[in-house]
Amino acid sequence: MKLGAYLRDKREKAGVTLKEMQQKSGIRKSIIRIIEAGDFSQLPEPNHVYFLIEKYAKVLGLDADNLFSRFSEDLPEENEQSKKRQQSENEDFKYLRKVLISFGAMIGILFVLWLILLQVGSETDVFEQTPIYESTAFDIESQDTEDESSDENEEETAEPAEDEETPEEDGGSESESTADISYIGMDNNTLYYDVTVSGNLEVTLAGDNSWVSLSDDAGNTYAYEELSEGEYEIAEDASALYLTIGNAPGQELTVGGETLSSSESTDAITVHYEFNIVRE
């Protein structure tokens, strides 16, 4: 039996529906079906299959490590791109270490040269010291003239400064958000909104570490991972936006400059959002 079929069999025997699995694991139904079908290449990011199976197994009380060992042939290996990225990071670290060592050696050489110059100067009186109280009459007169000029400039600039207004008084109120967001309603743990926007639409997340899935109806996937913060610019051809937050109470969601709170509509931990986008 393949891994996907095994997981589906365990779920059905446990009496857990797809909807319940979605709510408890924070994984969308479409992704759950892909996992149970065993076609991991259809995932938006196949390398996330290990993380998703851990979430799935936790709901059913299964040992994820045991599943990985038992069905290792069904799981995808680390792709070539990840290996190249790791290799590149190692090379960058080696280069940085060489630069730091070279910089430290240069500082050491300059310090030694400075000590040598001090030693030579003390023996040959190259560095001649002049007492600070030895000032000529010309120096004193020049200092007095500079002080008088400085006082005159301060008096001239004092009056215009009184008439200037602070940036807060002239600046006016802060710029309004370019998006108009209207709450439509809720179906189970899914909140529906209408978003009227002119220009670019940005979605910002900040808060506790949480599983986040963000995609649109144009086939773009912006986030499909566990994160604590992120900022995303939505494609102009998108007319619908789908967002799932695994730990909604710990995340602050801002859409088009307006902060949304799921606690006003639902007390669920995992919350799904669907935004209908209308561009002006």
Please give the chain's pLDDT, 280 residues, in tens. 888 899 999 999 999 999 999 999 999 999 999 999 988 888 888 778 899 999 999 999 999 998 888 888 888 765 444 555 567 777 888 899 999 999 999 999 999 999 998 888 777 765 555 555 554 555 555 666 666 666 666 666 555 544 555 444 444 444 444 788 888 888 888 888 999 998 888 999 898 888 899 999 999 999 999 988 999 999 989 999 898 988 878 888 889 888 887 666 667 788 889 999 998 8
CATH 1.10.490.10 for domain 3-74: no
**The predicted structure's pLDDT at residue 8:** 92
* CA dist., res. 72 & res. 116, Å (int): 66
User: For the chain, how many helices (H) and strands (E)?
Assistant: 8, 8
Backbone angles phi, psi at 141, to 5 degrees: -65, -40
- What is the CA angle 56-59-62, rounded to 5? 75
Q: Pinpoint the residues of the chain covered by CATH 1.10.260.40.
A: 3-74
SS3 143: helix
Where do we find the tokens 């002049």? Answer: 130
Q: Which of 196, 208, 206 is nearest to 256 (CA)?
A: 196
- Pairing of β 201-216 and β 251-255: antiparallel
SS3 196: strand
What is the 3-class SS of 52-118, one letter each residue? HHHHHHHHHCCCHHHHHHHCHHHCCCCCHHHHHHHHHHHHHHHHHHHHHHHHHHHHHHHHHHHHHHH
Q: By CB neighbour count within 10 A (0-12 exposed, 13-18 middle, 19+ buried), where does 204 fall?
A: middle
